[in-house]
Structure 1
Amino acid sequence: MRLRHKPWAKEKLMEYPQFVVQTPEKYKGKWGELFNNDHPIHIEVGTGKGQFIVGMAKANPEINYIGIEMQDSVIVSALDKLIDEELTNIKLLNIDGSNLSDLFAKGDIERVYLNFSDPWPKKKHAKRRLTYKSFLKLYEGLLIDGGEIHFKTDNQGLFEYSLQSFSEYGLLLKYISLDLHNSEFEDNIMTEYEEKFSAKGQRIYRCEVKYQNEANN
């Protein structure tokens, strides 16, 4: 999908520091101070236009959410949603998700959401997939002991690859659905991509995995 460049997006993101954290590195190890509570923190890596993360924040006020998206022309749409809502349990970061270790300390995060990530289908690009082992190690360095990854995609090849990657890393597979919208899973909140793909009759794949103390690195 071609991204429409919005040259004004970066400036708008800076105009709303109450929603878009401008200096996230200063909160490493103390994100509770920003949210002014000690609620669990869940992050979405690649939050896109924000439909999922805003929906989750509305449905779960007892959890703090952080949406992470590197493309300012995309995340500005998530900002628009926050401007329209009165939510205090969500923040946005306009950063590259590969730099998370600079922003979060071990135990800062309870759960990572990966929704409709770029599949990088060529084998030579496997290291760029957000479920590659180096990313799994990155998330482990941020999560509480026993933290989880929740993953959704429409791409069967990426899903199969990810299940293997999770298993080889030593993660516990808690939940797997090969057809989410025809399953008994409740309270699913869809992303923009999910709505588009499911409307065309495409399957949505979903899994939940959990880190164990004996996970391999």
Structure 2
Amino acid sequence: MTASWPPGVPLSTWLVIAGLGAFHGINPAMGWLFAVALGLHRRSRQAVLLALPPIALGHALSIAIMATSVFTLSTFIDSRYIRIASGCALIAWGVYHLRYGHRHRVRVGMMTGFTGLVVWSFLMASAHGAGLMLTPALIPLCQTAATGLTGPLLASLAAVGLHTLATLVVTGTVAMLVYEWLGVGVLRRGWINFDRVWLCGLFGTGAWLIAAA
């Protein structure tokens, strides 16, 4: 029988967390397009690479807030109510983006530095509800973690770390591919409309959380 950590958490939970990180990484709005834009503006491959750590850090901070919230709420609120509240929040967030999302874009100039990139990435991840999308995996993770505060807390931190690593790897890979070979014209020629995919994810995950409560 394969051991799992925390005990009782299937490998599929960690795969979902990593998979969502990869999905966030391939989404232009989450960072790689900005990294490429900085590289082209400064005519430097190094600028692309240096943009990746602060982008990953900002994303991690946004995810960590949601993970901490789920961890805290799961200690004294029944998970059923957390699922329902999270599902409603995801659907409401999706409706907001459908109607007003295109009017409220986070704008940061090409001369921004490390702090500006961290803030931009944090706001983008938060505005897109990236942390909320992790709720289905975070709730059972905190529930089945070892008793006491240390187990769920470590599990939440591990989830944030794994998700961020997957995001960083995919973001960096796509950014370098686009900068070195494909060019930003690929967005016009054949890139997927991630806004629509993201909206489907928000509505679908929200509905699933409510139905599974």
Q: TM-score, length-normalised on structure 2?
A: 0.24
> Which has the larger share of strand?
1
Higher relative contact order (CA 8 A, sep 6+): 2
Q: Report the structure number with the largest CA radius of gyration.
A: 2
